[in-house]
Amino acid sequence: MSQYTTSSSSDVKPIQIVPKKSVLNSHGCGGDCTDHDDSQARWPRAKVLDLFNLPFNDLMWQAQQVHRQHWDANEIEHATLLSVKTGGCPEDCGYCPQSASYDTGVEASKLMSPDEVREAVIAARDAGASRFCMGAAWRAPKDRDIEKVAELIGVIKQEGLEACCTLGMLTDSQAVSLKDAGLDYYNHNLDTAPELYGDIISTRDMQDRLDTLSHVRSANIKVCSGGIVGMGETRAGRAGLIAQLANLPTFPESVPINDLVRVPGTPLADTPELDPLEFVRTIAVARITMPTARVRLSAGRQAMSDAVQAMCFLAGANSIFYGDKLLTTGNPDVARDHALLAKLGLRSGKAVTARVIAA
């Protein structure tokens, strides 16, 4: 399906995405909630749902074709996470162990020092990571927090890694300060379909998230934005999340797809497990609708079999969180990941962007 255009010269720059029309509207649904006619959107939600509904083999075949047009199919980016300011968060995200609203046993801590961060960055680099992502459990950083984080970004850049952070909502001037400090990516997830957002989080709305993404874009920082599946949503809900991401004025350069980590004490702790094949479908649909994005197989890998992870890579995932810990919960250890990638003949990717295909 040709929903995007390509340019034809160098083979390392991302293709130019030309939206049919800007689709954001006043309540931030991107025109893809059930209340709107979104037929003019780049990816009408019904078309996204049609992809989800394909026979599994046909979906995988489409996803693989798109993946191989734009990426080296045997190369996986390794991004390491560090929680630089943990817990005590005033937001009430129903999935999150760091919210002060829930008793999850996560202890709140202060912002880490540059020396502590440097130690973690060097360890991540020595283990083979190319991107380092710092997470902070803030609703929105204060300007004095941004000054301190700018110093931490400097540490990552001095050690030669790509820098990403996820700090909550940003103003436009804060985004510019982070760009000036050398930030490459900002992670801010849309998390779920617009119509489900209020069921998961009451302390902010989807429009707050979209505003921050717009500030990040305007500051010329690359956007990392995805969501969580397995929160009890239907397939139509998953289609709504992917449509919302794919219809952003420019779709994100990085798209983390998280399988809910069900943490005791959070409201979503007892949510039934998502069928793993549904998770694989979500990866495939993200790949097809956002061809030049790094699609990251994100939280939830610890509970996934090697076979399911291999299917995610076949479906077009080309990035993982790498290292024994996500922010507060576990991730497969480095030895398990090395064994899995070796078994599949996959290489670690070094900050490569999608190649341009001839128009």
CA pseudo-torsion sign 260, 246, 59, 39: positive
- The minimum distance between CB 88 and ligand SF4, in angstroms, equals 9
Residue 284: alpha-carbon gap to chain centroid: 14
Residue entry with tokens 């360890």: 123
Q: Which of 63, 76, 96, 155 binds ligand SF4 (CB under 6 A)?
A: 96
Quick check: 321 and 301 in contact, CB under 8 A?
Answer: yes
Instruction: Decide if residue 258 touches ligand DTB (CB under 6 A).
Output: yes
- The minimum distance between CB 249 and ligand SAM, in angstroms, equals 20
- The minimum distance between CB 188 and ligand DTB, in angstroms, equals 9
Site for ligand DTB in 165-194 (CB under 6 A): 166, 187, 189
- The minimum distance between CB 72 and ligand SF4, in angstroms, equals 32
**CB count, 10 Å around CB of 142?**
10
Rounded to a whole number, what is the distance in angstroms from the first to the last CA of the chain? 14
Instruction: Decide if residue 329 touches ligand DTB (CB under 6 A).
Output: yes
Instruction: Decide if residue 285 touches ligand SF4 (CB under 6 A).
Output: no
What does 99 interact with, of ligand SF4, ligand SAM, ligand DTB, none (CB < 5 to 8 A by kind)? ligand SF4
What does 188 interact with, of ligand SAM, ligand DTB, ligand SF4, none (CB < 5 to 8 A by kind)? ligand SAM
Q: Which of 51, 59, 89, 228 binds ligand SF4 (CB under 6 A)?
A: 89
- The minimum distance between CB 143 and ligand SAM, in angstroms, equals 17
Rounded CA separation 286/31 (Å): 18
63, 64, 201, 351 from 7: Cα distances, Å: 21, 21, 40, 21
Instruction: Decide if residue 242 touches ligand DTB (CB under 6 A).
Output: no
Quick check: 253 and 221 in contact, CB under 8 A?
Answer: no
Q: What is the DSSP string of 94-123?
A: TT-TTBTTS--SPPP-PPPPHHHHHHHHHH
Active centre residues (catalytic): 89, 93, 96, 133, 164, 224, 296
Report the length, in residues, of the chain: 359
Write out the residues near ligand DTB by the rule CB under 6 A.
81, 97, 135, 166, 187, 189, 226, 256, 258, 261, 298-299, 326-329
Write out the residues near ligand SF4 by the rule CB under 6 A.
89, 91, 93, 96, 98-99, 137, 139, 168
